[in-house]
Structure 1
Amino acid sequence: MLPHAPHFHLPDEANATTPPEKRGLRRDQVRLLALDSSNGSYEHSYFYNLENYLSSGDLLVLNNSRTIPPVLKATLSNGKTIEVRLAKRLSNNVWEVLVPIEALINEQLYFREGLVGKIIASKLQSPLKQIEFNRSDIDLYNYFYTHGEPVRYEYIHHPWSLDAYQTAYAIHPGSVEMPSAGRAFSWEMLFRLQKKGINIAFLQLHTGLSYLLDDAWDHSPDNNEEFYSIPKETVSLIEQTQSHNKQVIAVGTTVVRALETMALTGESTGWTNLYIQRDFPRKLTTGLITGLHEPKSSHLEMLTSFIGEALLLNAYEQAIKEGYLWHEFGDMNLILPEKHPYSLQAPL
């Protein structure tokens, strides 16, 4: 948690502990809090009504990175079994991983079926280590998919399958936590949006670990580099959208991070540690579709670059009163840009 990020009280009952499908809902039947960034007016709706807040020529940009199961069991040379969490891929056979012990350089970790990882570097002031595996590429990914488990934080009480942590359109493996803002989309809904004239584009940002299991470790975005890649087709669609004075709506904070990094650096592929806070001069993203974020988090802080903190926290207060659910299996929030053509019904 970040000390300067917005704070509010999130009651335990607001934590979504199960996927919507296990609650008798389709993915796109979760609730939607539509929020006007100019004055904080809001409207309660459902995600399948998203098209009512967009117009022909607007562009949705989605992150189609696919979630891998990063939680693995390993054995040390002394016979002790530990949990290892993949954090990010550095090369064909080298990964940055979370090892919750004081492991030494050159120490070996023994996994099932003959997979061995050697610690080759440590990150300063961090529990993250670099591990070189004795397998690479497809063979290594196959091991992860066979023996790994999804990251599950304390509010999730049941070990749901990896399918619960994938978006419908995810195709590029690499995220160790789901880019969850896109989870509520179905293919049917995407086709319906396109039929209305709303454009769809994709990029990849492979998410890293959002929490290092101990509040003592500083894990703000500027200490967490993530790899992104933005196709030429997406760049062209953004330019076309801007030239027609239409809205570029990011689906998720990962998309904001990737697009605004490209705007700053001019690079459509690379690593980003961009930390977006209030008053950040966004150049590409005008609106945002996202989940509901926990107090004092960097994701919540990013939202204050789209809407004033007081307006945001008032909307969150209303969402709590209305029984909205938080986190990756929860409800959704649409933050509309100042000059959108719709009038929301519930002013502050």
Structure 2
Amino acid sequence: MDVRDFDFFLPDELIAQTPLLDRTASRLLVLNKENGSIKDDVFSSITDHLKPGDCLVLNDTRVLPARLLGVKEETGAKIELLLLKQLEGDKWETLCKPAKRVKVGTVINFGDGLLKATCVEETDQGGRVVELSYKGILHEVLDQLGEMPLPPYIKVQLEDQERYQTVFAKNRGSAAAPTAGLHFTEELLQTLQDKGVHIAFITLHVGLGTFRPVSVDTIAEHEMHAEYYQMSEGTARLLNEVKQNGGDVIAVGTTSARTLETIMNEHETFCEASGWTSIFIYPGYTFKGINGLLTNFHLPKSTLVMLVSALAGRENILNAYNHAVSERYRFFSFGDAMFIR
């Protein structure tokens, strides 16, 4: 299967640059994965599309302020560092810009020495492994020096950093937000629970794969980067009960979907589990964990478009995306939502 099979035309002006004032005010495209039918709605009406006994599975990861602007200690040249994944101790996998200026042994200084990063390994496509040194607690240092690592297609500075966090964000560790969850408020979640819809949480720390485009021609050649996930015993028990009682398990976001499918593939049931997943879901994959997916609109030729195509069919997805373009839906992280059911 060719990567070009998942391309579509997207005008630049449809890429949402800022979040809406009201999280629930986004539009909602409802796609029937069986027959391809489309309904235009608003996100606040998601309650109308769920029934008592269904379960929404949310990713409660919290984004680190992991974008750091510093200077080379030797020359004063400006360097941008994006922390992606903690490896061991104070060693981190990062993206570096401009990478050509950072060699093994290079020291980058942030905040007049409050934080330093020493390059210990060069990896591919601008990647660097660095060892951090700092005074105090790292998370507090990052809160002081770091910025939210907004995707490169967002050109407008975010005034309120919390708008790139979900209202239920808890476990620090992501390099990007699980953006499907940005549409929810605490009030909407309570309304869903009052209706009898279950709310469950898993954790997947979004990492390097989010920032790397598919650079091969054939899908099967693409390799996903591993990301850390975790599911509690309580969440596993709830999900198994929902399935046994005939309810639908609805993943909120592709990160939740990948976590649930990873666990079902490895254990053939939902269970307490943690580890690293590099699962790559594209057409031909048989879903074992989820019945539906609530997600945003994704980049052309991306692994995320391939995932939703595996769930709903490539033709249905491309038809829905073309409809969204013609109806001027807002795309990507701060954009509108799609419910595949």
- TM-score of the superposed pair, with normalisation by structure 1: 0.89
User: Is contact 2:150–2:176 with CA below 8 Å preserved after alignment?
Assistant: no
1:325 aligns with 2:325: no
Q: Could you list the per-position Cα deviations for residues 239-295 of structure 1 after superposition, in whole angstroms to 9, with x for gaps in the alignment?
A: 101111211000000001111111122371011111111121211111000001121
1:96 aligned residue (93, 97, 104): 93
- Identify the residue that residue 142 of structure 1 maps to in structure 2: 140
Q: Could you list the per-position Cα deviations for residues 202-255 of structure 1 after superposition, in whole angstroms to 9, with x for gaps in the alignment?
A: 01101114225x886999973311111111111111110111121100000000
Q: Could you list the per-position Cα deviations for residues 296-344 of structure 1 after superposition, in whole angstroms to 9, with x for gaps in the alignment?
A: 01111100111111111111111112111001111000000xxxxxxxx
Deviation at 1:36, TM superposition (A): 0.3
1:82-93 counterparts in 2 under 5 A? 82-93=79-90
Structure 1 moving runs of 4+ over 4 Å? 214-221
- Identify the residue that residue 346 of structure 1 maps to in structure 2: none
User: Is contact 2:224–2:280 with CA below 8 Å preserved after alignment?
Assistant: no
Q: Could you list the per-position Cα deviations for residues 165-185 of structure 1 after superposition, in whole angstroms to 9, with x for gaps in the alignment?
A: 011110111111111010000
| Alpha-carbon distance in 2 for matches of 1:145, 1:64 | 19
Cα gap change, 1:98 to 1:162, in 2 (>3 Å): same
- Identify the residue that residue 43 of structure 1 maps to in structure 2: 39
Amino acid at match of 1:19: P
- Identify the residue that residue 262 of structure 2 maps to in structure 1: 261
- Identify the residue that residue 52 of structure 1 maps to in structure 2: 48
1:291-306 counterparts in 2 under 5 A? 291-306=296-311
| Alpha-carbon distance in 1 for matches of 2:78, 2:327 | 44
Matched-pair identity in %: 33
Stretches of structure 1 that go unaligned for 5 or more consecutive residues are: 337-348
Amino acid at match of 1:314: N
1:74 aligned residue (70, 87, 106): 70
1:283 aligns with 2:288: yes
User: Is contact 1:221–1:273 with CA below 8 Å preserved after alignment?
Assistant: no
Cα gap change, 1:319 to 1:67, in 2 (>3 Å): same
1:1-348 counterparts in 2 under 5 A? 3-4=3-4, 6-21=6-21, 26-76=22-72, 77-100=74-97, 101-102=99-100, 103-114=102-113, 115-123=115-123, 125-135=124-134, 139-160=137-158, 161-209=160-208, 210-212=210-212, 222-266=223-267, 268-336=273-341
| Alpha-carbon distance in 2 for matches of 1:37, 1:81 | 48
| Alpha-carbon distance in 2 for matches of 1:111, 1:204 | 30
| Alpha-carbon distance in 1 for matches of 2:288, 2:233 | 18
User: Is contact 1:222–1:274 with CA below 8 Å preserved after alignment?
Assistant: no
- Identify the residue that residue 344 of structure 1 maps to in structure 2: none
User: Is contact 1:71–1:84 with CA below 8 Å preserved after alignment?
Assistant: yes
| Alpha-carbon distance in 2 for matches of 1:5, 1:86 | 32
User: Is contact 1:5–1:300 with CA below 8 Å preserved after alignment?
Assistant: no
| Alpha-carbon distance in 2 for matches of 1:303, 1:215 | 16
